[in-house]
Amino acid sequence: MPESFYQSTPYYRELIKEHLQNLIKAGHSKNLPGGFKCLQFLKEQGYEIAHEDETWLLEWYEHLTNFAKVHQHLKDCQTNNHMSGVEEIIVHNPSWVQVIGTQRLEFFGEALSKDDYEFSLLLFAQRHGLLWNQASPFLCFQTELFGKDWRVTLIHKSLCDHLSSKVFFRHHAKEEFSLESFGLTEGQQTLIQQSLSQKKNILVCGATGSGKTSFLKSLVTLIPEREHLITLEDTPELRPKSPFATQLITPNDGPQNLKKFCHYALRMRPDRMILGEIRSAEVVPFLLSINTGHGGMMSSLHANSALDALHRLCLLFQVYSQQMNVSYHDVMKLVCQGIDFVVFLEHKRITSIVEVKGCEGTTPYYEMWN
């Protein structure tokens, strides 16, 4: 926006922002008006707006309510063939945006003032019926934007050194991937298919963006439709298509969490259960469940290798079980008795499959299927 715009229209911009807040308070957060209707509202209040200011206000409104600048960067990436398959967009502040896919591109250019940028993120959360402020500074939710489904993460400025809030858009492709697309050999594909049919317990691990969720989605498509599959997630990404599947999604606020969902799910006669990701206290009911006769359990975990994933499960269990008298050896025994296979991914490719055989002390023993 030109500097003259901010000098000539601050009053109109504040009136529009106040109007939007009033609409949200009145319960119209999901049906906010477009830019033309907001201008019409100002005119009905007796304000005369110059034609040039109308043009700039409409453009500013698109940036404020629809991330127009981010959308333009996304289109630039696609039309100029800079990259295909955009995976993540990070808006660091009003000026800097990163687009990450097959390449990593940075864009500079301010479309909103700092105050308007912060308001746009607050408005974004409110339009989804969510509370976001210094007391609740972290949000994660699903949305549709630019014709795609995104998992959105909002970080409040109170948590950031430079006092600028950030928004992360993670895109998960709707298309289903075959086992071949993860670089599996024919023998490895047979192994995975047999482990599913035998209801083995599978842990999928790797770094952020390595393809863990995509691989779990591929496994979901191989589960017999008539089985009662229960998925437990923070955001809906697995999306089983079977009419006999049950999807439990944790709300952004309230007492429900994945740990409680694990307990609920066990009372719902599951044939299989998939916990989207193990990060904290949900590790306890998950590990206890797979050691009490529940087969066909699957989950994902951030780890540096397949073996590191087993040790990380032990560490998480010790941290969150609150059982001070349980030794690391006992936890490792619990893990190795319950987990049958660990699949490790890097850059959307499976680089190792480990069949867990047991443990000696705190050292797992296993067979590597490479």
Q: Which residues does residue 143 pair with via DSSP β-bridges, in sequence order?
A: 150
Neighbouring C-beta atoms of residue 322, cutoff 10 Å: 9
**The model's pTM:** 0.75
Average pLDDT, the chain: 89
Rounded (5°) CA angle 223-229-233:
115
Q: What is the mean pLDDT of residues 96-113?
A: 87
* CATH label, 3-171, candidates 3.40.50.970, 3.40.50.2300, 3.30.450.90, 3.40.250.10: 3.30.450.90
Coil vs helix vs strand at 279: coil
Residue range(s) of every CATH 3.40.50.300 domain in the chain: 179-368
pLDDT at 345 over 70: yes
Give residue 82's pLDDT. Answer: 58
pLDDT at 39 over 80: yes
Give residue 182's pLDDT. Answer: 94
Q: What is the mean pLDDT of residues 228-244?
A: 90
pLDDT at 1 over 60: no
The rounded percent of the chain whose pLDDT value lies above 70 is: 95
Residue range(s) of every CATH 3.30.450.90 domain in the chain: 3-171
Residue 256 structure tokens:
């429900």
Would you say domain 179-368 falls under CATH 3.60.15.10? no
Contacts of 181 (CB under 8 A, 6+ apart): 218, 348
Give residue 83's pLDDT. Answer: 58
Contacts of 351 (CB under 8 A, 6+ apart): 344, 345
Query: Does residue 153 contact residue 168 with C-beta atoms inside 8 Å?
Result: yes
Query: Does residue 183 contact residue 161 with C-beta atoms inside 8 Å?
Result: no
| Residues 3-12: tens digit of each pLDDT | 555 555 788 8
The structure tokens 């359990």 sit at 297
| Residues 289-298: tens digit of each pLDDT | 888 778 899 9
- In this prediction, residue 311 has a pLDDT band, given cuts at 50, 70 and 90, of very high
- In this prediction, residue 84 has a pLDDT band, given cuts at 50, 70 and 90, of low
Query: Does residue 342 contact residue 310 with C-beta atoms inside 8 Å?
Result: yes
For 154-238, where are the alpha helices, taking DSSP H only? 186-197, 212-221
Give residue 117's pLDDT. Answer: 94
Q: Report how far apart, in Å, the C-alpha atoms of 361 and of each of 204, 273, 284, 328 are.
A: 24, 29, 21, 9
Query: Does residue 232 contact residue 277 with C-beta atoms inside 8 Å?
Result: no
Measured CA to CA, the distance from residue 346 to residue 97 in angstroms comes to: 25
| Residues 136-188: tens digit of each pLDDT | 899 888 898 888 888 899 999 999 877 899 999 988 776 778 899 999 999 99
Give residue 253's pLDDT. Answer: 66
Q: What is the mean pLDDT of residues 314-322?
A: 91
Alpha-carbon dihedral 175, 179, 182, 183, rounded to 10 degrees: -140
